[in-house]
Amino acid sequence: MTGAGRPARPPGAVIRWRAGAARVTLSGVEEPKYRIRARHSASTVTVYQAYAPGIGGPAARSGRFPATWKRDRMTWIKPSFLWMMYRCGWGRKAGQEVVLAVEIAREGFEWALRNACLSHYDAAVHPDRAAWRRQLKQAPARVQWDPERDLRLRPLAHRSLQLGLSGAASGQYADAWTAGITDVTPLAREIHALVGAGDLDAARALLPAETPYPVPDGLLTHLRPEPAP
């Protein structure tokens, strides 16, 4: 953090401050605070998770989550590769040694977002706390917007989507939406080694290409908190 509580400026970025909300400009392009960036095709979107070898290994080998994957528990998926690296410590944290790129149907991803609730109360989105609690209890998915990360895993000013799936949504994710699973642990280790050696350009060149996700009109209206004044 720099003075006045502002986040450190990422390399090559210009920080602009408006109405209390930071915007990061990379190559002259302004990055909105709340936007989904992901690797995606016409029909799928890639999200990331990390597991112990007992789950991650079989999932990567078969391209499907094994029967031991608990479908009745909430699971969090992340479209940001670098946020996943922050969460799992480049695959070095216990129980998160296998990093998976999970390709899922955009139809399922958007259904989850359409039916999701913010994981925290926000007066700009919810009429009151009681209404938010009811929505959170009933929703099959929940959303958090956490600071995106740079190659050194430092927080950036704009946010990264975290999507939590529970109940029927969790089962659908594992058994209906998933189109393929790839073990990207070797990639994570290679990028981490380059970062450690100070070769950020080479590390950046290996990152998965994540571009703005084409969000249908109104899909995120109930999931974008207003920036504080």
- CA angle 123/124/129 to nearest 5° reads 25
| C-alpha–C-alpha distance, residues 186 and 193, integer Å | 11
CB-CB contact of 147 with 135 (8 Å): no
CB-CB contact of 132 with 118 (8 Å): yes
Domain boundaries defined on the chain: 36-223
Judged by DSSP in three states, 218 sits in coil
Determine the pLDDT at residue 226.
65
- CA angle 158/161/166 to nearest 5° reads 160
CB-CB contact of 101 with 186 (8 Å): no
Determine the pLDDT at residue 6.
39
Give 39-79 as a DSSP string. -B-SSEEEEEEEE-HHHHHHHHHHSS--TTS-TTS-EEEBS
The token duo for 153 is 């895993």
| C-alpha–C-alpha distance, residues 218 and 220, integer Å | 6
| C-alpha–C-alpha distance, residues 60 and 186, integer Å | 13
Residue 174 DSSP label: I
**Mean pLDDT of each 10-residue bin along the chain, 229 residues long:** 41 37 50 95 98 98 96 96 98 98 98 94 86 90 96 96 95 97 98 98 98 94 70
Determine the pLDDT at residue 24.
45
| C-alpha–C-alpha distance, residues 222 and 210, integer Å | 23
The token duo for 80 is 């940001």
